[in-house]
Amino acid sequence: MDKKMNYIKLLIIPAITVLLYSCAQPVTDPGGNTIDDSLNTPVLVQKEGGANTFDIMTWNIEWFPKEGPTTVNYVKTLVRNLDVDLIAVEEISSVSAFNTLIDSLQGWGGSLNNYPSQYSGYQRTGFLYKTSMISVTHPHYILDDHLWEFASRPPWTARIAVKGKNNQTVFDFNIIVVHLKAELGNSSDAERRKKAIGYLEEYIDAEISSGADADFIVLGDWNDKITDPASSNVFTAFLDKPDDYSFLTADISGRYSYISNTYKSLIDHIMITKDARQEFGQGTTQVLYLDSEFSRYQSEVSDHRPVLSIFKGFTLGN
């Protein structure tokens, strides 16, 4: 009897071992991408969002969707993979594709600039956000009386409340998403950017002076470098007031967010007003080199890398 039981154990134990080993292996899709079983989502890039931090990102998604449904599906996957809380987006050229993206992202909402289209493929700004922790009120465009300076893309703003434990607001602020005039080598375009930034600073100053919440986060594709000499720097309206404004991207000037085949630079920025510095705390800002993790990123998603800031000056308490 003992010999028979030992023989059965010899048959069963290896089978169980093989079964456990098989279950522990990563699941992949037909393309060889690892699948996140919880959402049946391919894992193309590593997670960046934290469970107890507020993560905000700006992302120019080149002529979204540059490769149609393929791009929409990749962006959906990247949003889920990155798992950040709020994503400002630029170059949204298809409203229907944006709506398809939002509909496919369970637990996410979207807000898209509704300024009247100015041309075929008109590029809009907006943002995506986790509905479980972000509430959005009063989204609207501003400074549309300066269309020339803003390249017919007036900034998109809203009131944002970040929710923590028991759905309590732990941080609220005004968001402004920008996409300024392109062409770095053109002096007239640089002058348009400089004037647009001047109008933006005047707007924020007037809002705060009139009693608005002084917490502002301004982010997007500014289409210029903050490290240029003062004589040619388009950001002087903000840089000349260091006590009032801080560019969180100032310390990563050696990194590239724009990655075309002919030119690379850091032109996507995140800026905060002085009242938001406490919430940023010992936070971090980085360019996400998604193209190094996902080989099809540049060809099928964007020629811009996202820029991410993680706020660590308060606790979500989730």
DSSP string, 167-212: G-EEEEEEEEEEE----TT-HHHHHHHHHHHHHHHHHHHHHHHTT-
Greater pLDDT, 12 or 38: 38
Greater pLDDT, 25 or 277: 277
Q: By residue range, what is the domain housing residue 290?
A: 51-311
Task: Please check whether residue 21 lies inside any domain of the structure.
Answer: no
Total tally of structural domains belonging to the chain: 1
Task: Please check whether residue 34 lies inside any domain of the structure.
Answer: no
CATH number of domain containing 152: 3.60.10.10
Which residues are within 8 A (CB) of 92 and not within 5 positions of it... i.e. 6 or more apart? 61, 64, 98, 112, 123, 124, 125, 126
Task: Please check whether residue 252 lies inside any domain of the structure.
Answer: yes
**Three-class DSSP category at 285:** strand
What pLDDT is attached to residue 314? 95
- In 3D space, the residue among 95, 165, 169, 106 whose CA is nearest the CA of residue 137 turns out to be 169
Pair type for strands 264-265 and 268-273: unpaired
Task: Please check whether residue 195 lies inside any domain of the structure.
Answer: yes
Q: pTM (2 decimals)?
A: 0.88
Burial class (CB in 10 A: 0-12, 13-18, 19+), 280: buried
Categorize the per-residue pLDDT at 250 as very low, low, confident or very high, splitting at 50, 70 and 90.
Answer: very high
What pLDDT is attached to residue 41? 86
Query: Count of residues for the chain?
Result: 318
Task: Please check whether residue 145 lies inside any domain of the structure.
Answer: yes
Lowest mean pLDDT among 1-10, 30-39, 58-67: 1-10
Task: Please check whether residue 235 lies inside any domain of the structure.
Answer: yes
Tell me the C-alpha distance between 125 and 221, whole Å. 10
Lowest mean pLDDT among 68-77, 149-158, 242-251, 253-262: 253-262
Burial class (CB in 10 A: 0-12, 13-18, 19+), 311: buried
Task: Please check whether residue 316 lies inside any domain of the structure.
Answer: no
Pair type for strands 307-311 and 268-273: unpaired
- Please report, rounded to a whole number, the percentage of residues in the chain having pLDDT higher than 90: 82
Task: Please check whether residue 18 lies inside any domain of the structure.
Answer: no
**Which element (helix H / strand E) includes 35?**
strand 34-36
